[in-house]
């Protein structure tokens, strides 16, 4: 039985080999029977493609699919992005050779001298008549501002208004029917959506009048930073991992619809390069500041409340039957002041401002310093009066002269 099984298996294996060999001989015979001209026709020659042929149509279709929302946005917004070259006056201080020893301070007083330096940055047009937005630090103390467009045209720019604290500047160039970017709504930004940074990193714009585009996503929104060592205030910032480098400051951050959602401003960096953590001022904040800059050329922060306050101590807290010493007590209210108009009374205990808890006088001062408040802003105070908590609305007014 075993012998018959082995003979049957050998017969089947031989049949498979024979049939495969016969099929192979048929295919090779067909090729060898072709003439050289016929063999040449069976080979694909890209040069033989004629316009309008099916293969050309397929190539055109593939090229069309290479375009997408990002490439269309870059093509649409790029003409409105500009490179900015600035001559600035900067102050330098000579270092005391004997450090800061009080004994030698009078012998070697610190000297301050000014020097013209070159700086560069980015900007974008927001109107057909030449209004340009950029960072204030790009044009700070500028004596000359030169703007280059993607068309190769160069314009001298004037500063219409600049706000140091919010780091926003509005410039003007003489032109008509200029390309401009469409401002979007930064309150509608979605974490994870595409973000495209367009600007002039390292001055590359000057080589071929073309902005650099980097692509990433919106990493986070509403990033708040305390007042910087230079005194600037950055609130509600948009975080992106699109590469932002030196020279990108003032450039447009746009979404895949082509709407400007922010202005590239800050990066976290250890050596000056991009680490994929950049921040943009939201466009809604820019709109508010630009509107005031257009109207007055500056932002009015010379406000007052008319309230005098002091810390709560344990004795005051006990006398007022308060559970803790958290908060500050109103000790005086100036007549006709915003505080009086807001309904404050002496002995009111302020517990929170715009839902931010108040522990003591320093927390009030810190809040006012870091919120970038302006004349006309509204504050909601949570107070305790006679044991009951209530809310009062105070509208900041310009300090009387």
Catalytic residues: 137, 167, 249
> What residues does 266 pair with on adjacent strands?
279
CB 361 within 8 A of CB 311: yes
CB 118 within 8 A of CB 138: no
Q: HEC string of 103-171?
A: HHHCCCCCCEEEEEEEEEEEEEECCCCCEEEECHHHHCCEEEEEEECCCCCEEECEEEEEECCCCEEEE
CA dihedral for 215, 217, 222, 228, sign (positive or negative)? negative
CB 247 within 8 A of CB 202: yes
Query: Which residues lie below 8 Å from residue 298, measured CB to CB, with a gap of 6+?
Result: 161, 162, 163, 292
- Residue 148 tokens read as 């280059």
């Amino acid at each position: 039985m075993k012998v018959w099984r082995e003979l049957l298996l050998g017969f089947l294996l031989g049949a498979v080999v024979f049939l495969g060999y016969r099929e192979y001989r048929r295919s090779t015979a067909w090729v060898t029977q072709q003439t050289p001209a016929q063999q040449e026709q069976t080979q694909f020659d890209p040069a033989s493609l004629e316009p309008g042929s099916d293969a050309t149509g397929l190539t055109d279709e593939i090229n069309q699919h290479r375009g997408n929302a990002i490439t269309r946005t870059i093509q649409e917004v790029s003409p409105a992005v500009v490179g900015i070259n600035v001559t600035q006056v900067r102050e330098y201080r000579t270092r005391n050779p004997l450090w800061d020893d009080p004994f030698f301070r009078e012998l070697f007083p610190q000297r301050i001298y000014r020097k013209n330096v070159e700086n560069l940055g980015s900007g974008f047009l927001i109107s057909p008549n030449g209004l340009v937005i950029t960072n204030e630090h790009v044009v700070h103390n500028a004596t000359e501002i030169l703007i280059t467009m993607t068309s190769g045209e160069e314009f001298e720019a004037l500063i219409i208004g600049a706000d140091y604290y919010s780091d926003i500047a509005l410039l003007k160039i003489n032109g008509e029917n200029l390309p401009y970017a469409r401002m979007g709504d930064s309150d509608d930004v979605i974490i994870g959506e595409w973000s495209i940074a367009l600007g002039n990193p390292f001055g590359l714009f000057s080589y071929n009048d073309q902005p650099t585009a980097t692509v990433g996503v919106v990493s986070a929104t509403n990033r708040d930073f305390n007042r910087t060592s230079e005194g600037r205030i950055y609130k509600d910032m948009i975080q992106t991992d699109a590469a932002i480098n030196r020279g990108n400051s003032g450039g447009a951050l746009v979404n895949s619809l082509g709407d400007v959602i922010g202005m590239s401003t800050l990066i976290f960096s250890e050596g000056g390069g991009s680490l994929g953590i950049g921040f943009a001022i939201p466009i809604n904040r820019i709109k508010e500041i630009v509107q005031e800059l257009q109207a007055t050329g500056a932002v009015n922060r010379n406000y007052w409340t008319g309230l005098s306050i002091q810390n709560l101590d344990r004795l005051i807290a006990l006398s007022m039957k308060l559970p803790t010493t958290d908060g500050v007590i109103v000790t005086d209210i100036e007549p006709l002041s915003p505080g009086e108009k807001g309904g404050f009374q002496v002995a009111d205990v302020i517990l929170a401002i715009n839902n931010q808890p108040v522990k003591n006088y320093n927390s009030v001062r810190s809040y006012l310093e870091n919120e970038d408040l302006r004349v006309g802003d509204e504050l909601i105070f949570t107070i305790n009066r006679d044991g009951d908590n209530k809310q009062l609305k105070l509208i900041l007014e310009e300090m009387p002269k």
